[in-house]
Chains A and B, each alone.
Chain A
Amino acid sequence: NAGVTQTPKFQVLKTGQSMTLQCAQDMNHEYMSWYRQDPGMGLRLIHYSVGAGITDQGEVPNGYNVSRSTTEDFPLRLLSAAPSQTSVYFCASRSTGTSYNEQFFGPGTRLTVL
């Protein structure tokens, strides 16, 4: 199993550009989520999904859209990038059940918005 994969690893955007960060998992996990990591802030939840067709907002959802058309994929879209979205983005997934099930993280996407 590849686990959780993310593409691209690095991306530089100009303010106002749009892009999609890809996330896929091959563990048949129902729960998937996106976090951003900023220095001194830890990780903050952007959006999450409990299954195909179902998404919900996390702590910092503004400026980001998500969709979940399949169990495997959970892309994160930036419609109009802003410098404040410069961050490292991590996708995570976990199996169904209780919240103490381990979340598996992808390798991250380092995004810079100029």
Chain B
Amino acid sequence: AQSVSQHNHHVILSEAASLELGCNYSYGGTVNLFWYVQYPGQHLQLLLKYFSGDPLVKGIKGFEAEFIKSKFSFNLRKPSVQWSDTAEYFCAVPMYSGGGADGLTFGKGTHLIIQP
């Protein structure tokens, strides 16, 4: 099974600061990578995903992530965060490489707090 690790469990930033959240995955052949966000009291929503092509992926709300194959990384970035970005962020990969009938393996999450 594939695995994913997130380096930062709690991050506190001020508004307008730049954000980078780390995510590393285990090699498993076909690489499909996801970032999900969970706003307080809400369910998970897809921020962005990578499955092939341009390694720089743009998602919703100004987020982007870069797939770096040599580093097995898929870090999430945002140039200037807003108070509304306060949320829990999860990196995820398919549980088994090659796609098909499986679920996702999630990282333990990063709790991001943006201070006004």
Contact = CB atoms under 8 A, between A and B. Distances in A.
> Do chains A and B interact in one complex?
yes
B95 A43 contact: no
Interface in B28-82: 30, 32, 34, 36, 42-46, 49-51
B11 to A, nearest CB: 15
Interface stretch (A20-28, A69-77, A96-104): A96-104
Interface stretch (A11-19, A34-42, A79-87): A34-42
Interface residues of B, number: 29
B32 A100 contact: yes
B105 A45 contact: yes
A92 B45 CA distance: 11
Contacts of A58: 95, 103
A40 B44 contact: no
A111 to B, nearest CB: 15
A14 to B, nearest CB: 26
A45 B104 CA distance: 7
B51 A98 contact: yes
A92 B108 CA distance: 18
Contacts of A92: 44, 103
B7 interface: no
Contact residues on A (Cβ < 8 Å of other chain), bracket: 20 to 34
Given A43-B90, A56-B101, A108 B43 contact: yes
Interface in A37-53: 40-45, 48, 50
Contact of B108 (A41, A90, A108): A41
Contact of B9 (A40, A48, A50, A105): A40
Contact of B106 (A44, A50, A102): A44
Interface in B90-104: 90, 92, 94-95, 98-104
Contact of A90 (B44, B50, B107): B44
6 contacts: A58-B95, A100-B32, A100-B49, A103-B46, A105-B44, A106-B43
Interface of A: 31, 33, 35, 40-45, 48, 50, 56, 58-59, 90, 92, 98-100, 102-103, 105-108
Query: What 3 pairs across the A-B complex have the smallest Cβ distances?
Result: A99-B99, A100-B51, A99-B94
